[in-house]
């Protein structure tokens, strides 16, 4: 028995850190309900609608890049506190905006907050979690994202009837999760690996002891100490070096595939898609909320099995489910067989497959595969790639949907699912049950 181990403390700290994902989930789901109203209000065409929605993602890329170095200097926790403050300001500012440029500026600010949290939250969790629970605990970040989606979808539905300015209330309510995140972070400690990197060994050991128990904490502390001792000061030149090339490409491709397989095109524009299928706005919003519910439920499936089955089996079966679902959606568009419940069913199976596979697995693997000395820099590159792919999909989807048709749009995503499946089968290694230091040795030997 490991004396001193406090499992409740570990869960509490992880849940608080994962609330960073809630900010992203809430924001992406809220904007899906706002788009039918800001289009007429700001007189937006397809291109400007895509830009207005995707402007958040430009901020996300800035936030990821800008938070890496400060996260190393000042700590993961302090930067997450700052992200929470920026998110609250963005929510209230965008809700009160009367000019498009001001609206976009506050969306960019919110994106900076979301981008910083999207890197620092899973990094913090991976650095504090025991190896045998890391997949489950980092997956809580994805659970927080889809919880934010679900809550925001129902919030949009409930606020729909508040009048001509309903979209302002939909945006203003985002300040609530930002405030909760800020207040919760006050009570969590700093990452033990960050503390060791800053010569605060006693503090690091106390945290590790509370998480792992005395015996395991001593072993873990020694492994971290040896890893840090062997690390030399690093730069982006080292991250892009031949030695790191394989591991960096794994992270980048995982991040890109999570987006180009279509998840956020559906998430952001679901009400618009359902309206085009002949549903009223209120019906489209409730159907979108059903999608959020499926995302939430099947993320729980991933959390339950990711440390038992492993990352790779979940990815294979989930990607197959996504590809099959999108095939039927594309066929329905090409044959003009767009009965609402038929399309809804295959969107639901797509969401279920995504939530049980690449949704959480991407965040887990991107946070665990990189060596200690390059983790923040390499993660920032991978997550910038994720937001860049998200931006490209979000910007172009309204144009493709309206000008080339849903069949072409969803066939493109279907092809991306097939490419993802090949990548997972032939190039993605398993990381289940290994410490961050063990993974460092395994990945650096791969070519």
The mean predicted confidence, pLDDT, of the chain is 83
194 inside domain? no
Assess whether pLDDT exceeds 80 at residue 229. no
40 inside domain? yes
430: left (phi over 0), alpha (psi -120 to 50) or beta: beta
| Number of domains the chain is built from | 1
Give dist(CA 385, CA 239) in Å, integer: 15
286 inside domain? yes
Give dist(CA 155, CA 177) in Å, integer: 12
pLDDT tens, position by position, 7-59? 788 888 888 888 888 888 888 778 877 887 888 888 888 778 778 877 888 88
- Residue 202: CB atoms within 10 Å: 7
For residues 305-314, one letter each, b for 16 or more C-beta atoms within 10 angstroms of the residue's C-beta and e for the rest, the string is bbbeebbbbb
**pLDDT score for 303:** 84
202 inside domain? no
Confidence of residue 102 (pLDDT cuts 50, 70, 90): very high
82 inside domain? yes
Q: Is the Cα dihedral 366, 174, 279, 402 positive or negative?
A: negative
Average pLDDT of the segment spanning 400-415: 88
pLDDT tens, position by position, 73-87? 888 889 999 999 999
Q: Of 396, 391, 324, whose CA–CA distance to 354 is shortest?
A: 324
CATH number at residue 425: 1.20.1250.20
195 inside domain? no
pTM, two decimal places: 0.75
Confidence of residue 1 (pLDDT cuts 50, 70, 90): very low
Which range has the worst mean pLDDT, 79-93, 211-225, 245-259, 277-291? 277-291
Assess whether pLDDT exceeds 90 at residue 212. no
Average pLDDT of the segment spanning 232-259: 84
76 inside domain? yes
Give dist(CA 290, CA 287) in Å, integer: 5
SS3 261: coil
**pLDDT score for 89:** 96
208 inside domain? no
Give dist(CA 288, CA 273) in Å, integer: 10
Average pLDDT of the segment spanning 383-412: 86
**pLDDT score for 258:** 94
Rg (CA), the chain: 21
Q: Which domain holds residue 109?
A: 7-188+231-444
Give dist(CA 153, CA 261) in Å, integer: 22
- 386 exposed, middle or buried (CB, 10 Å; 0-12, 13-18, 19+)? buried
- Residue 268: CB atoms within 10 Å: 26
**pLDDT score for 274:** 67
**pLDDT score for 240:** 84
Contact 204, 221 (CB under 8 A): yes
pLDDT tens, position by position, 324-346? 999 998 988 888 766 667 777 88
Q: Work out the percent of the chain whose per-residue pLDDT is above 70.
A: 88
pLDDT tens, position by position, 267-301? 766 666 666 665 555 566 677 777 878 888 998 98
pLDDT tens, position by position, 135-147? 777 778 778 888 8
């Amino acid at each position: 028995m490991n004396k001193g181990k406090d499992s409740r403390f570990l869960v509490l700290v992880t849940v608080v850190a994962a609330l960073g994902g809630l900010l992203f989930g809430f924001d992406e789901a809220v904007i899906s309900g706002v788009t039918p109203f800001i289009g007429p209000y700001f007189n937006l065409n397809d291109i400007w609608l895509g830009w207005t929605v995707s402007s958040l993602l430009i901020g996300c890329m800035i936030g990821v890049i800008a938070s890496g170095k400060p996260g190393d200097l000042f700590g993961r926790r302090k930067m997450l506190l700052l992200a929470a403050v920026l998110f609250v300001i963005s929510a209230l500012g965008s809700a009160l905006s009367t000019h498009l440029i001001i609206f976009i500026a506050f969306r960019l600010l919110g994106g900076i907050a979301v981008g910083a949290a999207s890197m620092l939250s899973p990094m913090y969790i991976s650095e504090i979690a025991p190896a045998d629970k890391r997949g489950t605990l980092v997956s809580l970040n994805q659970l927080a994202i889809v919880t934010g989606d679900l809550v925001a979808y129902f919030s949009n539905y409930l606020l729909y009837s508040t009048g001509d300015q309903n979209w302002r209330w939909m945006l203003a309510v985002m300040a609530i999760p930002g405030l909760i995140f800020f207040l919760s972070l006050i009570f969590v400690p700093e990452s033990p690996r960050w503390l060791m990197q800053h010569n605060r060994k006693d503090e690091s050991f106390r945290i590790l002891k509370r998480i792992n128990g005395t015996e395991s904490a001593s072993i873990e502390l020694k492994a971290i100490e040896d890893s840090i001792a062997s690390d030399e000061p690093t730069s982006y030149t080292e991250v892009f070096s031949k030695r790191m090339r394989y591991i960096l490409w794994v992270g980048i491709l995982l991040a890109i595939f999570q987006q180009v397989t279509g998840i956020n095109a559906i998430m952001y524009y679901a009400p618009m898609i359902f309206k085009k299928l002949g549903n009223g706005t209120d019906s489209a919003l409730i159907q979108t909320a059903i999608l959020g519910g499926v995302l939430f439920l099947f993320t729980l499936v991933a959390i339950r099995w990711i440390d038992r089955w492993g990352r790779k089996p979940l990815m294979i079966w989930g990607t197959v489910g996504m590809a099959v679902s999108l095939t039927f959606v594309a066929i329905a568009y090409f044959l003009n067989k767009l009965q609402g419940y038929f399309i809804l069913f295959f969107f639901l199976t797509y969401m279920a497959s995504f939530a049980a596979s690449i949704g959480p697995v991407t965040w887990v693997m991107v946070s665990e595969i990189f060596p200690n000395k390059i983790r923040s820099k390499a993660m920032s590159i991978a997550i910038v790639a994720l937001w860049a792919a998200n931006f490209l999909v979000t910007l172009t989807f309204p144009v493709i949907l309206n000008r080339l048709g849903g069949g072409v749009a969803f066939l493109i995503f279907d092809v991306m699912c097939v490419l993802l499946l090949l990548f997972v089968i032939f190039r993605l290694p398993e990381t289940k049950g290994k410490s961050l230091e063990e993974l460092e040795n395994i990945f650096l030997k791969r070519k």
